[in-house]
Amino acid sequence: MCELFSISSRLPTRTTFSLHTFASHGAPGRSAVDGWGIAFFDGPDVRVYKEPEPAGDSAWLAFVEGQRLACRLIVSHIRRATTGAISLANTQPYVRELGGRMHVFAHNGRLDAITSCNDAAQLRFHPVGTTDSEMAFCLLLQRLLPLWSVATVPRLADRLSIVAGFAREMREFGPANFLYGDSDALFAHGHRRMQSNGTIAPPGLWILQRECTVDPEGLAQSGVTLQAFGDSQKIVLLASVPLSSERWRSLDEGEVIAIKDGRVVSREPPDRKASSLAKPIMARREPSI
């Protein structure tokens, strides 16, 4: 199954989060074998490393590890293809410019019939590849476009409202877990994903919040290596499944959170009525992209 992972921190953090052990989620013989990508934000710009190859076999991962880049926001994705060919164009995370800043998107799920959205044929942003995930990103940017037409960063509350509305729309098409960063903040949506018992059910995303430090030994066992922090450090980690024995919290089905500088600054609670009606379903095949 696909893996989402992100780090947001108050102070720049040197990390080799996805090398060897974590990347083995995408090694041959496992479920996610079709590509991987990492985006390191650097102010309004972003460094992106990705390839349509098994992460466990990648020489690029050794290169990324050797760079030991220090940054405050990272978004990563390991892919198992169910929609679209195995190609660079279909490899996440996806990146676009909007409002003079780079925006990054990574999705775990399957959004059947997403092209039926009313404005799908009138997008300013167009997919380079053929995945439903990239189409979703283009639709999200279309929703955000009016906010970013000014020279300043839009209010976070306004951005969160649009992202939450978009997430609600995407849930109608299928599992819609995603991470979206606009270089100022990170937005995360938890929905449903393939569980160990073969059902498609919540939770779809997990979060760990810490001040000062996290458990370095526990994270190392999952392939995440973080440099020691000072007392003023704050950090938020998001992952498809918990990466250590610490007290990770699962996002509620349909919950959307906004994260900035290593802390959750706002959230949109799930639609309780819709959530109460949702039932796990058995999956015939992995619905992850």
* Per-residue confidence (pLDDT) for residue 225, from 0 to 100: 60
* Per-residue confidence (pLDDT) for residue 288, from 0 to 100: 35
* Per-residue confidence (pLDDT) for residue 210, from 0 to 100: 83
* Per-residue confidence (pLDDT) for residue 18, from 0 to 100: 46
* Per-residue confidence (pLDDT) for residue 260, from 0 to 100: 96
Residue 220 buriedness (CB in 10 A; 0-12 / 13-18 / 19+): middle
* Per-residue confidence (pLDDT) for residue 289, from 0 to 100: 37
107: left (phi over 0), alpha (psi -120 to 50) or beta: beta
* Per-residue confidence (pLDDT) for residue 1, from 0 to 100: 58
* Per-residue confidence (pLDDT) for residue 24, from 0 to 100: 57
In the chain, which stretches have pLDDT less than 50? 18-20, 26, 273-289
Q: What is the pTM of this model?
A: 0.86
Instruction: Tally Cβ neighbours within 10 Å of residue 275.
Output: 16
Q: Which of 91, 36, 89, 40 is nearest to 60 (CA)?
A: 36
The domain made up of 3-282 is a member of CATH 3.30.70.2860: no
* Per-residue confidence (pLDDT) for residue 19, from 0 to 100: 44
| Residue with the two structure tokens 């392939």 | 223
* Per-residue confidence (pLDDT) for residue 55, from 0 to 100: 66
